[in-house]
Structure 1
Amino acid sequence: MSKLRCHISISLDGYVAGPNQSVENPLGEGGERLHDWVATLAAFRRAHGEEGGEVNPSTPVFEQSIENIGAAVMGRNMFGPIGGGPWVDEQWKGWWGDNPPYHYDVFVVTHHPRGPVEMEGGTTYHFVTDGIESALDQAKKAADGKDVMVWGGGQVIRQYLTAGLLDVLELHVVPVLLGGGSRLLENLGDVRLEQVRAIEAPGVTHIKYRRVS
């Protein structure tokens, strides 16, 4: 049965992006440090067509995180540009260039309609204006039995958590204090999670939770 999964790097003070996000600095001040643990992995570099890198206890965590994914959802800020609003620039096709790393259908939750955008490598962005449940329904159909990944940002992840729709949440806790930015776990209401795994690795601790019905 298809599950809705999320894995995301988070600072010790609870932020998934730093303050003052912008087009030039989409992860905000200090936000890039949240992803140092994965950027050095050989498995990550290989998935992005690069060579080199290292193998450590984070390697199987990353490899498992990208297995069995058939489609994804993301919020408007994750797709960009920062600030949202109407699509004044139809040339904007996300942060990831002409060949994004997804290679499947990605459903972007937004208030502003736009036609599908097909990219190289099998990625197609679909823009969903009728809410997170509609985006998830469409993504599950596109995934054809595989899992759906929520790639972020923090706001849309909170919405899926609050609605009780997120089945698996894996936090990659990085020993960084950002002091501001996009906070993930706030104003969630009665969300019940059960820890199923914790792995210590260089520069990060991976903690995996499942939703308790």
Structure 2
Amino acid sequence: MSRVIGDITISLDGFVDGTGDGVEALHAWALASDDPVDAAELATVATAGAVVMGRGTFDVVDGPHGWQDGLGYGAREDARPPFFVVTREAPASVRLAATHDVSFVTGGPAAAVAAARRAADGADVYVMGGGATVGSFLAARLLDVLQLHVAPQVLGSGTRLFTGSAHRLVQRDVRVSRAAAHLTYEVLTPAP
């Protein structure tokens, strides 16, 4: 069975987004680094069998300044597995529909994971996006693995990934580049 992997970039002070210049620097490991460790991380996420994301993240990547040719899931890897967007309602139009397999799931996170697992056909399912999405999947015990890309940035404010629920994690891998520390944890809290 495929693993469900929460994959997110986070600042040293625990924020996944914020305001100002720090936010762009937060993702420099994926967008601008020439370090081979960062390239290997991007190549790994590009092997996803399917990807789940929240509606807020989808609206950004589908927007006019979002994913373009050569820049998409996995940053420069521009991977195009099936995408499942957790939302209350599908948007009226989708710019990426011509180039990406996008489905909208209104039944919540568990329904999105089930659909993504079917589409992934045994390959790993990645949950990407904002802290609210990845954090809610972690809180709902839907993640098997949590991958954190810790950028050397202190944002001071923004959206936190961890917001009050306790989780038991076991560190499985650490890779360090000049732009980020890539941490992989097995989530021991059993999935429902």
Q: What TM bracket, shorter-length normalisation?
A: 0.7 to 0.9
Amino acid of the structure 2 residue aligned with 1:16: V
Other-structure match for 1:145: 122
> 3-state DSSP class of the match of 1:141?
helix
* In the alignment, structure 1 residue 155 sits paired with structure 2 residue 126: no
Listed as ranges, the gaps of 5+ residues in structure 1 are: 20-27, 42-53, 83-90
* In the alignment, structure 1 residue 207 sits paired with structure 2 residue 183: yes
Q: State the Cα distance separating 1:7 from its structure 2 match.
A: 2.0
Distance 1:136 1:109 in 2: 10
Other-structure match for 1:183: 160
1:116 and 1:125 in contact (8 A); partners too: no
Over aligned residue pairs, what C-alpha RMSD do you find?
2.6
2:24 to 23, 32, 55: 32
Larger Rg computed on CA atoms = 1
Q: State the Cα distance separating 1:94 from its structure 2 match.
A: 8.4
2:53 and 2:127 in contact (8 A); partners too: yes
Distance 2:10 2:92 in 1: 32
Distance 1:128 1:98 in 2: 25
Distance 1:115 1:94 in 2: 18
Other-structure match for 1:9: 9
Listed as ranges, the gaps of 5+ residues in structure 2 are: 73-77
TM-score (norm 2): 0.83
Q: State the Cα distance separating 1:128 from its structure 2 match.
A: 1.3
TM-score (norm 1): 0.75
- Tell which has more relative contact order, 1 or 2 (C-alpha 8 A, sep 6+): 2
Distance 1:154 1:170, change over 3 A: same
* In the alignment, structure 1 residue 63 sits paired with structure 2 residue 43: yes
Q: State the Cα distance separating 1:142 from its structure 2 match.
A: 1.1
Distance 1:97 1:56 in 2: 23
1:15 and 1:178 in contact (8 A); partners too: yes
Runs of 4+ in 1 over 6 A off after TM superposition: none
